[in-house]
Amino acid sequence: MVANGAPLPPLPADVRTAESPENLGIPGGRNVGIELFGPDGRDVDVVLFLDDDGLLPGRDSAELLRRAFAEDPRLGIVSFRIADPDTGVTQRRHVPRLRASDPLRSSRVTTFLGGASAVRTAVFPQAGQLPGEFFYAHEETDLAWRAQDAGWAIDYRADVVLHHPTTSPARHASYFHNVARNRVWLARRNLPVPLVPLYLGTWFLLTLARRPSGDALKAWLGGFRAGWTEPCGPRRPMRWRTVWRLTRLGRPPII
């Protein structure tokens, strides 16, 4: 149990805990959780991330995950299906692929949803942990790209369900700033040089096409500028064969 900028509640003695006096952000808090399992996560085979506003309703979730990782030694990450607890509906944005019209179809994907996921601990020594400087937004894609560049696969499993209230990420004032800044950081850290302008240009045009409000656009442009002027951590561009692999899976790293 990680308390990220909040005090820990009373817990059983056998629960491993960490308490940060400041909010480290989503990736920073999850990294603290990873480190609870010892150097390089050697104490366990798989880490399951569960945000504090999520609930696993199925009693077979752990067994489904154990079987998935056991049957595929190159499977590095599993992304769960997120459903509203009242309606059972899965929003398209919660399906980590472009063809998201059928959320009940499991498939191999190129990214994952961090608050409803399981990661083989062997991924972290090769791909690194989540980028703590992102605070939130696109941190999963950063790890996903690096994991796939190291040869790991990612699956979206519709039969592993997490209940989460239907909310909009835009409810946070910093959403548009972080989305734009981290998108630039994502490209600067991970993409071959020729793909950086293609990726960012595509997202720039998509953002304008969605016609955000004046305040939202101002925050987005400020974040886009910050992405170029602020340090983003070490650069490790993916190999071209990884670009081709992502393309074959239906999501080339330009969108």
pLDDT tens-digit map of 210-232: 888 899 999 999 999 999 999 99
**Nearby residues of 79 by Cβ (< 8 Å), 6 or more positions away:** 96, 109, 111, 112, 113, 116, 117, 154, 155, 156, 157
Q: Which of 16-30, 49-63, 66-80 tops mean pLDDT?
A: 66-80
Residue 188 vs residues 125, 197, 234, 253: alpha-carbon distances, Å = 21, 10, 9, 12
> What does the domain layout of the chain look like in residue ranges?
2-167, 173-248
pLDDT at 101: 86
pLDDT interval class at 115 (50, 70, 90): confident
The per-residue pLDDT for 24 is 95
**Class of 2-167 in CATH:** alpha beta
pTM for this one? 0.93
Per-residue model confidence (pLDDT) at position 165: 82
The average pLDDT across 141-160 equals 97
